[in-house]
Structure 1
């Protein structure tokens, strides 16, 4: 499992949406104390990476790799 901290600005800097191999899907998750309102589901080289950004904390968390 991969856990990384990533700010919304760094998402833009990486310009990940420019990659033709990346598929995005917006999803909404609710996890006990944390509400994830912006999520991106990537499909890169047959590896699905779910990114969830929490708005209830001062830091944005990128969570979960679904292999």
Structure 2
């Protein structure tokens, strides 16, 4: 259950981060390359943050069960 909770958090946060970036107009339309490295780096850092938060949620869920 802890792994599932972490996965759900990562999924929701990644979708929200993508929507946030789209609202700012940062990513290009679908099936087009991102021309600037800065945009790619920003998206990668946001997704890495989502993964980190999901891992922390899973770790907290495991600790709560123990």
The structure that is helix-richer by fraction is 2
Q: Which structure is richer in relative contact order (CA contacts within 8 A, separation 6 or more)?
A: 2
Normalized per residue, the structure richer in strand is: 1
- Structure index of larger Rg: 2
- TM-score bucket (shorter structure): under 0.3
* TM-score, normalization by structure 2: 0.26
